[in-house]
Structures are given as structure tokens and as C-alpha cells.
Amino acid sequence: MDAAPDPHRYAIVDLIRRKRDCGTWTPDEARWIINAFTAGIVADEQMSALAMAVFFRGMAPAELDAWTEAMIATGSRLDYSGLGRPTADKHSTGGVGDKITLPLTPLVAACGVAVPQLSGRGLGHTGGTLDKLDSIPGWRSDLPPARVRAQLEDVGGVIVAAGPDLAPADRKLYALRDVTGTVESIPLIASSIMSKKIAEGTGTLVLDVKVGSGAFMKDIDRARTLAETMVRLGTRAGVRTTALLTDMDTPLGLTAGNALEVGEALEVLAGGGPADVVDLTLALAREMLAGAGVDADPAEVLASGRAMDRWRRLVRAQGGDPDAPLPVAREHETLTAESDGVIGGVDALGVGLAAWHLGAGRARKEDQVQAGAGIQLHVRPGDRVRTGQRLVTLHTDTPERFEAARRALAGAVTLLGPEGHVDERPLVLGRVTADDIR
């Protein structure tokens, strides 16, 4: 961050009022707000009021551009231009059962692209990639920049937490948004994600924008607006950016939880796994490879076993033991079908909340998670079941959590009559590129 901003250059109360009353800031005012907040000139309660004004009034493109640029400038910007291979990263807006980063990173690395994958921890009903990986004995995600670069040169992929010097303004602002009900603001989501992704120095970025009950974006129109906003920010910053809109009405795969999802990711790398997890992994890999200008067939690389080999190297490089058994919860409970019929739907939000109640997620950032806790699904929409057949298995170390999980799942798995029919819903609902926003 540059020299401390002039505390008398603007009056923050006037800027709050202007946004509250549907006005706009100049780019210089937007930059000053971020710099003054980071420097402690703008108080937390003032920034909270301003965030709420943005939640209701939004930001014009010029405001958001300056705001995002200022967030990036509060920290360092990494540069991987000398790696000798193109770089690509993926970001998901968060969902239930979303373990795609785990097979995707080694797959794209095995195709010849360096993947500096920045990931985060879960909060609420959406899982976090770093929480999943923490279930691998010895795994470390807090690597210094020099170690990250060395691993990219050697292995081709790394999955790490954002360092403290990467867009630190975002970390400070997100803590306020999380406790003031402003997390869902599209400009604040877009600037939060893109400030870190631009600062990390990747050449190509593919965004997985989730849509549905288990996602922050519940409808396709808001999801597309978010995708277009982020693609525009990335493109403007010189990052080749595309986005896929993907379904999150139903959980991805058959597991929601930490070690459970790692196990499922390993199935994919071994050539098996649920079809939707495989399909989305390949779809995102193709986007990343196209953006990086690499001509490779990710399906062939996955089938060859080279992605699994790369996974094992990646885990070892980050201190983990790829051969160690994954944690298993001490207690289990299975819910069964009460009648014959056809599974009409499996609600992602209900499954995510149940996994959270079982200990797989956290209510506050400082909460601990249970590595083995979570949900194992035995059915998918459209499956035909008989009375007494297994539907869901609950996993936890603390059996007193079962009751809350059962309540969360009430109505989450819907059962139609024996003659019921479910239309197949596409996994990828849309695509946004730079050409779509010009």
C-alpha cells in the first residue's frame, strides 16, 4: 500500500449519504474509501454503513473498477511470468459437495499448465477446500510465496490459502460483511473474489458461478450478473477470464463433508466417481486449458492415471501422506425410504445444513470442524427406490448432533410415486466470456 491517504481529502459521511441516495463516487473517491478504511481512518461502523448502502444501491462500473484496483494495491501482486509454462486458476462461488478443486488442480497440471490454486475455508453450509485437504495427515496450506513458486516449477500445481499480503483490504472488509448481512452484494462479492485472483498473478481464470438452493446466487439472472461483473473485472486487468454457470440445486456428487469429499475426489482421479463430478471437472479443465492456449485432452489425461500421479506429488510436496487413511467419524446413522417410489429431488441447501450440523462446517471462522463428519448420499434424483432402502447416511463424532441434522434434512430428499418421472437438469447452465460483455 502507498503512503497513508489524506484523512481530510473526503468526508466519509458525505460519501455514505451519496451512495445511500443513489449517487455515485468518482474513481478517486472509491480508491480513497478503500485506502482510508485499510489505514484505519474510516471506522468499522462507517464502513459497515457504506457496505449496506452498496448492498442496496450497487456500484457503477467505474466505481467498481477503482474500488477493486485499490483493494489489490493494498498488498502485493504476484508474478509467475517466468515459470516457463502458462498459468491458470479456477474459483467457485461455493456450494454443497463441491470438491472439484481436488481432482481439477492435478489434472490441469498434468496437462502442462501451472495451477496456483488459491482456496479458502468453509463458512455456514458451503464447504471449504482447505478444510477438506486438512483431513489428509500432514497437509499444509500456509506456504510462503517462494515455496509456492518452487512447487509450481516442480509439481505444476499448488493449493494454498491466500497469504496475508494478498489484497489485505478484502480480508478486513469481508469480516465486516460477514456480520452485517452484506455478503450477498454482487459488487462486493465480485471485488472480493477478483481482487485476490488478479493479485495472485494467474494468466487465465475460470469462474464456476453456482446457481440454486445451495448457492449464494439462487436464480440464474443474478448469477449471470455476477459472472459478467467478474469476467469484466478480470478482462480489464489483463487476465483471460471466463465463467460457467453451474447447477447447485442438487449437491455435487454423493458426499458433503471433509474427508468424505476427499475420498470421492480420489475416486475421480482413479477413473471412477460420480458422473457429475467427473463432467464438471472436465468442463472446467477444458476452459482452463483453452485460456492457457494448451492443446490437451483432459479426459485422456484423467483416464491415463497421470492426474493421480500428479495428485500424489502435490500432496507430498505440501507435507501430506497420500497413502494415509482418511479420518472416519465415530458415529453413523442411516435414513431409509418409507415407501416405494422415485427420488424427485435432493435439496442442496438441506444437505449442506445437515452436514454443518454434524460438524463438517463452522458458524464462525474460529470454529473447529470435524474431519470425518458429513453426509453420504445413496440416491440421486430420478433413482427408483424400495421401502427400507438407504437414502442418506449421517457421519459425526458427536451423536447428539444427529437430531439437528435430521431436522435439516426433513423434506430435502423428496419421494415421488412409483410412476414418477424427473427430467434431467443440465449441470452447466450457461457460459460467459469477454465477448459477452463488450
**Which of 192, 195, 247, 357 is labelled catalytic?**
192
Nearest residue to 182 via CA among 69, 19, 26, 41: 19
User: Which of the residues 19, 196, 232, 401 is marked catalytic?
Assistant: 196
Neighbour-count burial of 206, counting CB atoms closer than 10 A to its CB (0-12 exposed, 13-18 middle, 19+ buried):
buried
Active site residue 132: no
Known active-site residue 177: yes
Our answer to whether residue 91 is catalytic in this structure is: yes
C-alpha separations of 116 from 74, 148, 378 in Å: 21, 8, 34
| Residue 85 and residue 113 in contact, taking contact as beta carbons nearer than 8 Å | yes
CA-to-CA distance for 110 and 299, rounded, in angstroms?
Answer: 11
> Where do we find the cell 481482487?
195
Q: Give the 3-state DSSP-derived string for the chain, with helices as H, strands as E and coil as C.
A: CCCCCCCCCCCHHHHHHHHHCCCCCCHHHHHHHHHHHHCCCCCHHHHHHHHHHHHHHCCCHHHHHHHHHHHHHCCCCCCCCCCCCCEEEEEECCCCCCCCHHHHHHHHHHCCCEEEEEECCCECCECCHHHHHCCCCCCCCCCCHHHHHHHHHHCCEEEEECCCCCCHHHHHHHHHHHHHCCCCCHHHHHHHHHHHHHHCCCCEEEEEEEECCCCCCCCHHHHHHHHHHHHHHHHHCCCEEEEEEEECCCCCCCEEEHHHHHHHHHHHHCCCCCHHHHHHHHHHHHHHHHHHCCCCCHHHHHHHCHHHHHHHHHHHHCCCCCCCCCCCCCEEEEEECCCCEEEEEECHHHHHHHHHHHCCCCCCCCCCCCCCCEEEECCCCCCEECCCCEEEEEEECCHHHHHHHHHHHCCCEEEECCCCCCCCCCCEEEEECHHHHC
Please tell me which residue in 90, 177, 236, 401 is annotated as part of the active site.
Answer: 177
Q: Is 286 annotated in the active site?
A: no
Active-site positions read 91, 170, 177, 192, 196
